[in-house]
Each structure stands twice: as structure tokens, then as C-alpha cells.
Amino acid sequence: MVDSLPNIAIVELTSPSMATLAPPVPHPLGLRDLNRLRVIESIYRHPGCSRADIARRTGLSRGTVSTVAEELGRAHLIHEHDAPDDPLRPRSTGRPPTLLSLVPGTAFAIGVDIGHRHIRVTVCDLAGEPVAEKWSRVNVDDAPSETLDLAHQLAQQALNEAAVTPGQLLGAGIGLAAPIDQRTGEVKANGILPGWHGVAPASEMQDRLGISVQLANDADMGALGEKVFGAGRAVDDMIYIRLSAGVGAGLILGGQPYRGGYGMAGEIGHVCVQPRGQICRCGNRGCLETVASPVAVTRLLEHVVERPMTPDQLLDLVAAGDRGACRAVADAGEAVGMVVSWIVNVLNPELVVIGGELAAGGDVLLDPIRASIDRHSLPGAAADVQVTAGVLGDRAEVLGAAALILAQSPLALAERVRS
Ligand SMILES: [Zn+2]
């Protein structure tokens, strides 16, 4: 699952009480240490590879690769297995090579997704497979302490359920529905997550969990989740659009997450699309979020059905082909497509992945997004970009948050063998 994992910087926050597997403080590596790290990284990025594959990808000799693999086997970090049967493989080529993979249960990462109205927690093994997941509906916007306490409780429940010990943990990643100042780790959003302005959630969660914690914007984590595990695995330049209670974008450029100079890249939910439109929670007027969040779209139908509606009910109407519901979702798609067309002209992405609840609208949403990109982008850039729904659904953000931590596993495992 992790063959295209981007390189991500090592965690900044390190607790003195941290578990043995936590990312180590960087220090000079000897040649043997570097060789070990390169072999582990190669196996991590290409699970089920042969010794010859590793030698080719790392430039190390077959002998060095075999020596390091033997050492990793003795440390129970890797296991050998046969290649799956391939009916196209000629019988005359002899026995297929033995393949190497990391032992998935060697280490684990916690992913946490904190939206405006929910918390989702997952514990993933080294292969990125969730071994326990917890979810709770909660009003996040004005209650940072209560939210972080609940996230801690859910994480503990998931760890207990999966029988994962603190010593097996690499750390925890959090995706939060607000802009994060990467210089300070603080939430920088008076209106967007009102009670959280100035709060440093990574530091707060680190105190609760006792392990290293990294924090990022939730759309950035959705982008990483789809890049590592989902629709974006084969591309290097993609935009992930989250159409949820908050609207935002996560960028993957040149195979790497891009967060801008201070961590606030991708805030397309607060780009103006209707200069005389509704006042947004950010204080501006006519932001994309006021016309394309599921709540905003649902509100358009309430005066027709003459009762309060939920976004789930809106999507049920869309699935049933209700004309008004389809029109409301299509108009939201047109607005999203116009904003995406500006990004398409500037960044020339290969892929646009639509996530968040509204993505369940399918082609009723996606076709107007495509048409709007075609209409407003340069023809060459518009012709090259694919628009698709995410394949991870509402788990993109939490899996991306776990992937943020799993990316550090080769260095942590190499350090474990070294020590
Ligand atoms: Zn706004």
C-alpha cells in the first residue's frame, strides 16, 4: 500500500518520555547505518521486493543487500515470502526469487481527523492497514480541550482494542479543519474554528498521549491519504478538494505535500466566488464555502421541502434523481470547478481528487466541475487534468494523518536496529 510514499520531514516535537520507536534526534550516520536505512526504505516503499530489486534501486551491491537483509531478519523487522503465482511467467525461468517485506506489526502509527463536527481515530500498522478505528460525532468549533480529551480517549480505546503498546508506536498525526501556522504550530483562524485560535493542538495532544505528534490541515491530510493509499498513487501532481463542513484543498506537487511558506496553502474555501453573496464565517463575503459546503447546498432546498434537512438527506435526493437536489449540487460543482480552473492554470496538475461528503454526489457533482474547468482553464491544461472522486471516502484524512507518521518509520526502524 505504501509504494509511492512521499518523503516527509522528521517530526519536530519530541517528548522526553517518548516510546523507543519514536523518531530519533538526527545525528551523523556511518556508512553501515546509511546502507541499513536505504535497504529499509527500499523495502518500505516497495513491499514484496527481491534482493536484486533492492540492489538496483539503492545502488548497493548484492552482497551488501544480503548482509543487511540478514541483519534485519535477525531483528524480526522483515520477513521472506514467495511471489504470488503469475500465470504469465514462463516455467523455464526457474524458481522465482524470495521476496522481502517489513513485518507489518513491527510498528504502528495513530491517525486523528478532527473536523468541525466529528473526530475519527485510526491505528495503522506499517503496511498502512488499519487495525482499529474509532469515530465520534462532536461539536468541535468552540471546545478545544474537550475535543482533544475525546480524541485522546478514542486513541486509547483503539490502542487497547488492537493490543498495541506504547513501545510499538511511531507517533500520532492529526488533521485539523483549520489553517495551521507551521512556524508556531498554532491554529490561525478566528472565524473558521472560533474557540481554537492560538491553541497549539500538537503540543496539547503530545502531553495527553506521551508520544510525538504532528499536526496539519485536514485537507492536506486528505491529499496525502489519497496520494499514498488512494486515487493519487500513480501521480506526482494532484489537488485534493475537500467539500465538507469546511471546504479546502490539499496540494501534492512533484510527489511532495505542499503547504506554502507558513502552512496555509490551499485555503480555497475562502476564495470569493460571489462578491455580493453571503457573509462567510471568515468574515469575508461570498466565499466558495458559502456555496459549496454540503450544509450550504442543503440549505438551498429547505424552503422547498419546508423542513430542516441534513446533507445525507440531500445526497439521498440526488441519488433518487430529484431535480432540485441535482440542480443544487451541480451549481456547487460549477463554482468549485471555476476555482479549480484557476489552480489548473497556475499549477497544471495531472489529477483533481474530490473528497468530503459532497463527493457522494458522483457525476452530478463531478460533471459540472469538469465542464467548469474546461470553460475557464487554458485548453491545454484543462485537457490534461483528470477529475475523479476520492477512493477513500471519509477516511482519506485520517489515513493521511497516519501516513504522515508512517513516512518516518524507516529511520525509526534503522535506529532501532542500530541501538
Ligand atoms: Zn470565508
**b (16+ CB within 10 A) / e for 124-135:** bbbebebbbbbe
pLDDT digits (tens, 9 = 90+) for 243-289: 998 899 999 999 999 998 888 899 999 999 999 999 998 899 999 99
pLDDT for the residue numbered 28: 65
The residue type at 161 = E
Ligand 1 centre distance from Cα of residue 269 (Å) = 6
Rounded Cα–Cα distance for residues 158 and 259 (Å): 29
Ligand 1 centre distance from Cα of residue 245 (Å) = 12
Q: For the chain, which ranges sit under pLDDT 70? A: 1-29, 85-94, 190
Residue 156 near residue 172 (C-beta atoms within 8 A): no
pLDDT for the residue numbered 307: 87
Residue 193 near residue 141 (C-beta atoms within 8 A): yes
Ligand 1 centre distance from Cα of residue 243 (Å) = 14
Residues with CB in 5 Å of ion ligand 1: 270, 280, 282, 284, 287
The residue type at 170 = L
Ligand 1 centre distance from Cα of residue 142 (Å) = 18
pLDDT digits (tens, 9 = 90+) for 83-112: 776 666 666 666 778 899 999 999 999 999
pLDDT for the residue numbered 11: 31
DSSP designation for 22: S
Ligand 1 centre distance from Cα of residue 271 (Å) = 7
- From the list 21, 23, 44, the residue with the least C-alpha distance to 169 is 21
**CB 275: neighbour CB atoms within 10 A?**
8
pLDDT for the residue numbered 9: 33
Ligand 1 centre distance from Cα of residue 193 (Å) = 12
Ligand 1 centre distance from Cα of residue 135 (Å) = 28
pLDDT for the residue numbered 117: 87
Rounded Cα–Cα distance for residues 335 and 373 (Å): 10
Ligand 1 centre distance from Cα of residue 270 (Å) = 4
φ/ψ of residue 308, rounded to 5: -65, 140
pLDDT for the residue numbered 140: 86
CA angle (167, 169, 172) in 5-degree steps: 145
Ligand 1 centre distance from Cα of residue 191 (Å) = 8
pLDDT for the residue numbered 88: 64
Q: What's the predicted TM-score (pTM) here?
A: 0.87
Residue 122 near residue 135 (C-beta atoms within 8 A): no
